[in-house]
Structure formats: structure tokens, C-alpha cells
Copies of this chain bind each other. A is one copy, B any other.
Amino acid sequence: MIRGIFPPITTPFSNEEITFDKLKENILRWNKTGLSGYVVMGSNGESAFLTREEKIKLVEKVKKYSASEKTIIAGTGSDSVKETISLSNDAAKAGADYALILTPSFYQSQMKHKELIDYFSKVADKIKIPLLIYNVPKFTNVNISAGTVAKLAEHENITGIKNSSENIADLTEIISVVPNNFSVLVGTASVLYPGLTVGAKGGILALANAIPEECVDLYGLFIKEDFISSLKIQQRLVKPNKAVTASFGVPGLKAIMDLQGYYGGPVRSPLQNLNQDEINIIKKIFMEANLIK
């Protein structure tokens, strides 16, 4: 069962190509933290800009550099059932332990209960590693309902969900209708603490790329029932989290990683790197939260 804190790792580029050396450096450093594992090709991985070949190679390299106890989750979903199965199984061969599968979203207004049941069941039937549902309305404009999750949780190969909505009511409802061994993970650091209080098992958090220790501490203090200390960290994370998600996105996250001594580096085209003014804004937000010096 999936527990704890995972970064949806950024993909390091140099001159528009993946730089595996920098990937290695980042992972070796993350290996020393209490992170439970890595999500590769998540929304912060600029997966939408990668070719199929790059994706497989990326999983291989992440597996290679990861400490053996770290769980590898690969984002392998697309609207096509066929392609999702094929990519998930190739990712499994390359070392992925779980497949994190986006709700299909092109025909967003039609992705309702029946369509989502159909999609996830067909994919889960055919992939050789366990499936985690990935619900992220801000990118997909689809929000899976608790009733749909409850039904999908009956499938033996569907073992959890990453819910990236900040809506804790939905999270509470989902947790109340799935079995206890179904992993419900928070998808954004701004609601990790309240998510844990309603029963989430951990989080997949963009911020954990840049400040893994604080994210792991928040989680660990909660597990030890030191709620006051855990909440204090949470309060410091809300505004910085907004900066690397809603306000500045992946370019913001990479800028903060650079400031923290990780390799953030440039984003891939067509995303645009932050300018110095923007970097200063984001830096100030992290300094005011005592997250960087």
C-alpha cells in the first residue's frame, strides 16, 4: 500500500534535451530523504512534451538511480485506451511499480461515470502493474466523483487515487466509500494536513521536489500525532505552494529547485522560463515562509 510523500519529479532539460546526469544528481540527493518514492511523468514532469521513447528511457533511468526501497510510480495515461495500456506495460518493464493514470479529458464534458468506469476498467484489466487513478481537474477539467471511485476501487488492479483538487469535501467523501487498503493521496501541498486529518495516506506534492524535508516532516509529525507542529508547517506551505502551482507552475518550481541546489533548469518549449523579476517574487515568498535562506 502506498503511503508517505512522493515528488512528481521534474524532468531536467538542457538545450531542450533531457539531461540524465542532472536527473541522477537530483535523485541521489532525494534518496537521502524520507521520501517514499518518485512519480515520473506526472504533471510537473512536462510529460506532455516528451516523446514515447523519452518516456521509457526516463523510467529506466529513474529506476536505476533510485534507492532500492523507493517506489517508482509512472504517469502513463492518455485518452487512448490502447496507448495507455501499451505505455504502462512498457513502463512496467522499464521499472515502474505503479501506473498513475489521468482521467481521459479531451471530450471533457462527456467524461462521466460510465465513460470513466469503462476507461479505467479496460486499462486496469490489461496492465501488469497496479493502477492509481489520477484526478487533476485544473489540467483535465474532469472531476471524478466519489461514486465512480468507489466502483473502480472494486477492481483488484486499481489500488489508489491521487486527488489533486484542493476540495477536501470530495476527498472526505472518497475516503468514506473506499476500502481501507485503497490508497488515497493528496495531490497538492496546500491541503496535505487537512487531507491527512480526513484519512489520506500521504501526498504526491510538487513542492517535495524542492523542499522534501519539510513535506516529509509535516507527514511524520502528523503520524506521531503532533498535530500542532504538523499544522504549523502546513501554514507555511500554502502560499509557496500556490506560487509553484497556480501562479508560476513548472517554471516556478524549477526556479525554486535551482535556488535550493537541485537542478531545476529550463522548461521545455513551449513553456517559458521565468524572468528575473518573477524569480524574485517567488524567492521572496519562500523566504517569508522560512523555506529558503
Main secondary structure of the interface of A (DSSP, over half): helix
Counting chain A residues whose Cβ lies within 8 A of the other chain, the interface size class is: 35 or more
Interface-forming stretch among A19-27, A154-162, A227-235?
A227-235
Residues of A whose CB lies within 8 Å of any CB of B are: 43, 48-51, 78-83, 104, 106-111, 114-116, 118-119, 122, 138-139, 141, 146, 166-170, 172-173, 175-176, 188, 190-191, 193-195, 197-199, 227, 231, 234-236, 238-239, 241-242, 246, 249-251, 269-272
Q: Find out whether the CB atom of B166 lies under 8 angstroms from the CB atom of A193.
A: no
New A-B contacts (4) at CB < 8 Å, excluding given A50-B80, A109-B249, A167-B167 = A48-B78, A107-B249, A111-B270, A169-B190
Q: Which residue of B lies closest to A230 (CB)?
A: B197
Neighbouring B residues of A48 by C-beta, 8 Å: 78-80, 104, 106-107
Neighbouring B residues of A116 by C-beta, 8 Å: 270
- The oligomer's copy count stands at 4
Q: Name the distance in Å between A140's Cβ and chain B's nearest Cβ.
A: 9
Q: Find out whether the CB atom of A80 lies under 8 angstroms from the CB atom of B107.
A: no
CA distance A82 to B50 in the complex (A): 8
Q: Find out whether the CB atom of B270 lies under 8 angstroms from the CB atom of A81.
A: yes
Neighbouring B residues of A43 by C-beta, 8 Å: 106
Q: Find out whether the CB atom of A110 lies under 8 angstroms from the CB atom of B197.
A: no
Q: Name the distance in Å between A154's Cβ and chain B's nearest Cβ.
A: 18
Q: Name the distance in Å between A121's Cβ and chain B's nearest Cβ.
A: 9
